[in-house]
Chains A and B, each alone.
Chain A
Amino acid sequence: MARAKKATRPPAKAAKRAVKSATSKKNRATTAGRAAGRKPAGKGGSPPARGRAAAPSRGRAAAPSRGRAAAPSRGRAAAPSRGRASAPARGRAAAARAVDATLFDPLTEGERADALRILTEDRRLATMAKVARYRVIAAEPIVLKPPHPLSGRRLARAVAYDYSALRCVDALVDLDAGEVAFLQMNQSQPGLAREEESAAVAIAVGDERVKRELGLGDEPIAALHYWSRREADLAYARRSAAVLLGQPGRRPSLVAVVDLVDGQVTEVVPADQW
């Protein structure tokens, strides 16, 4: 367990280390970033790729996002001054404290249905609704902070994956007004819907290569969202799942990568070689 504490190092070095040594524990920790060459705050490193879209201007649908979504501030007036410089700040603080906690409550069945109905009736999503090859990933309440004009309103965040256009649909539905307040379509990959997990499992267990590799008593254990870091792989850009198969209660013995767009198994790998 004992190990030396890491020393400060520039990200470029961290990236080199990540490639150089596959056995260093530190370098196996790659995700969020140190291998990505990111800029330590205030240290003047090379700027990372920007992943954030500017907040859309009033009422417009957002441009395709590079990552960050923000509901538009429609028609917001500047906070009125009350004669002292700190008043607006104090007002914001007071407003924030006065938030109605029930706005965070889970959506009722009716609210969820309402949110999805409003979403699919939005004319910007007519193609998605007509082709009907989409999966709803989530529909849950969201509360915007004051002083945003939509704060204090009952809002739902609805996220779907549209297979007809291979895009993620991310919407903010104003349930009080019965309208889509904000809509963003992008190339992100949200987690799998329950239906996608079921589809991935069905595709995997029906595949001849998978059948050949399965042992007695092996069965699907889980279907997890997966993306590859290799550009040559279908799973690099296409919606994919990793179906883990094996005996219940034991480590999986096989991984089948399923391309959910075309409904096919693209890779079968013994689990210990993954």
Chain B
Amino acid sequence: MNDAIEQADWTIHWKVTETAGLMIYLASYRGRRILWEGSLPYVTIDHQRQVLSVEDEDGGQSRGPFWAPLGVRTLAGAIRKSDFRGGFELAADFSAGPYRYTQLWRFHQDGRMAPWLTIHGGGLHDGHTYHPHWRFDFDLDGAAADALEHFEGARWTRVTEEGWLPHTGEADEDGSVWRQVDTRTGAQVAIRPHHWEDAELFAIRYHEGELPPYAPHAAPGAQPFPAGYIGDESIEGQDVCLWYVAHVHHDDAFPFTAGPWIRCRV
């Protein structure tokens, strides 16, 4: 289950993975490499107890999350490709018990890309939160010479070390909060989070030969990924891997479509 598509100034390849949803790889825009790999390694689901006692210091969340990998085994139906005015999109439905999702990848001729996940609700009860985790390995004109910038204090600020970059509400005029820039060519991807999903970005230095995770955390009691990856390595001029994590609570009306807008400028 994979294929290549050349359309609307994009060249992309796609496949359904075993555990990381519908993956896009080797994506180029106007002949320039944008993405080595983009995937959805997992969607964890936390439930919050509806009735709390004063002893519940954990806020009702101590049970821990559920998760079922989105992939070949949870795929419901065929991958759908549709054309729309000014672009094309791929859609895949996944189902795991009461949890249903539609993963979308949309590509616009003007350089926008939308890796989205429509969450159809469900769950054990209303008090639950979805945490989709996207992993983006952007290779703008090649893997090296990346720089990451975060919009804060009303300006773009260079991020020099690995770290956690929450969306604090600030954004530039087109809504972008983070951007990755190739320092040699100036090519960039700007990431605009969804306004209602408490998005956060994690920037991690890519190590040669690094393998993406198959589990949400490394060991019992360990921090979940991608937080567990973060150290203090420099990312300036390096190959950077980005994780975009959304937090979608079921109080919001469902279906809810989570995920960022990504605008490529080459």
B168–A86 CB distance below 8 A: no
Residue among A7, A34, A255 having the largest count of chain B Cβ atoms under 10 Å: A34
Q: Are A244 and B98 in contact (CB under 8 A)?
A: yes
Report the Cα distance A39→B232, complex, angstroms: 10
Q: Are A38 and B215 in contact (CB under 8 A)?
A: no
Structural contact, A225 and B67, CB atoms closer than 8 A: yes
B33: nearest residue on chain A (CB-CB)?
A97
Q: A8, A38, A72: which contacts B227 (Cβ < 8 A)?
A: A38
A132-173 interface code vs B (CB 8 A; 1 in, 0 out): 000001111011111110100000010100000000101010
Q: Does B207 belong to the interface (CB within 8 Å)?
A: yes
Query: Within 8 Å CB of A89, what residues of B?
Result: 142, 144-145, 184
The B70-108 residues at the A interface (CB cut-off 8 A) are 73, 96-99
Contact present for A274 and B47 (CB under 8 Å): yes
Contact assessment for A251 and B2 in the assembled complex, using a CB-CB cutoff below 8 Å:
no
B19 cross-chain contacts in A, Cβ below 8 A:
137-138, 190-191
Inter-chain contact A274/B249, CB cutoff 8 Å? no
B157 CB contacts on chain A under 8 angstroms:
42
Bound CA span A139–B13, Å: 20
Q: CB of A31 within 8 A of chain B?
A: yes
- B247 closest partner in A (C-beta): A29
Question: CB of B264 within 8 A of chain A?
Answer: no
Binds B, one of A123-131, A210-218, A226-234, A258-266: A226-234
| Chain B 59-72 per-residue mask, 1 if CB under 8 angstroms from chain A, else 0 | 11111111111000
A157 partner residues in chain B, CB cutoff 8 A? 211
Q: Find out whether the CB atom of A70 lies under 8 angstroms from the CB atom of B169.
A: no
Cβ-defined contact, B66 with A225, below 8 A: yes
Which residues in A have their C-beta under 8 angstroms from that of B49? 22, 273-274
Q: Are B65 and A42 in contact (CB under 8 A)?
A: no
In the complex, the chain B residue whose C-beta lies closest to that of A91 is: B142
Contacts of A47 in B (CB 8 A): 231-232
Contact flag A29-B131 (CB < 8 Å), given A226-B66, A227-B64: yes
B221 and A231 contact, CB distance less than 8 A: yes
- Say whether B30 faces chain A, with CB atoms less than 8 Å apart: no
B172 interfacial by beta-carbon distance below 8 Å: no
Tell me if B1 is interfacial: C-beta within 8 Å of chain A. yes
- CB-contact partner of A25 in B62, B220, B249, under 8 A: B249
How many residues of B are in contact with the other chain, CB < 8 A?
A: 108
Beta-carbon contacts under 8 Å, B209-266 to A = 209-211, 213-232, 239, 243, 245, 247-249, 251-253
A205 within 8 A of B: no
A224: which B residues are within 8 A, CB to CB?
66-68, 96-97
In this assembly, does B155 line the interface, its C-beta being within 8 Å of a C-beta of chain A?
Answer: no
Which of A3, A40, A105, A230 lies at the interface centre, i.e. has the most chain B CB atoms within 10 A of its CB? A40
Contacts of B150 in A (CB 8 A): 41-42
Q: Which of B69, B124, B218, B249 contacts A51 (CB 8 A)?
A: B218
Residues of B close to A7: CB separation below 8 A = 168-169
B15:A190 contact, CB within 8 angstroms? no
Which residue of the partner chain, among A72, A168, A194, contacts B73 with CB atoms under 8 Å? A194
> Do the beta carbons of B13 and A101 come within 8 Å of each other?
yes
Least Cβ–Cβ distance between A139 and chain B, in angstroms: 8
- Min Cβ gap B79→A in Å is 13
Report yes or no: A70 in contact with B63, Cβ–Cβ below 8 A.
Answer: no
Q: A256 an interface residue at 8 Å Cβ cutoff?
A: no
Identity of the chain A residue whose Cβ is nearest the Cβ of B51 in the assembled complex: A273
A19 within 8 A of B: yes
Q: Mark A60-101, 1 if CB is under 8 A from B, else 0.
A: 000001111111110000000000001001101110110101
- Bound CA–CA A4/B203 (angstroms): 26
- Distance in Å from the Cβ of B127 to the closest Cβ of chain A? 7
Find the B residue at minimum CB distance from A141. B15
Contact B209 A71 (CB under 8 A): yes
**Would A148 and B202 count as touching, CB distance under 8 A?**
no
Tell me if A274 and B124 are in contact (CB < 8 A). yes
Contact B223 A70, beta carbon cutoff 8 Å: no
Q: Which residues of A contact B33 (CB under 8 A)?
A: 93, 96-97
Contact of A41 among B131, B159, B221 (CB under 8 A): B159
Asked if A33 and B214 sit within 8 Å, CB to CB, the answer is: no
Our pick among A18, A96, A106, A170 for the contact of B143 (Cβ within 8 Å) is: A96
| Given pairs A39-B164, A271-B124, 6 additional interface contacts (CB within 8 A) | A22-B61, A32-B245, A48-B223, A55-B209, A71-B209, A89-B145
User: What 5 A-B pairs come out closest when comparing CB atoms?
Assistant: A222-B97, A41-B163, A51-B228, A93-B142, A29-B247
20 contacts between A and B (CB under 8 A): A19-B58, A22-B48, A32-B131, A39-B230, A40-B164, A40-B165, A47-B232, A73-B208, A92-B143, A96-B142, A97-B142, A104-B2, A138-B18, A138-B214, A182-B209, A187-B218, A223-B97, A224-B66, A231-B221, A244-B124
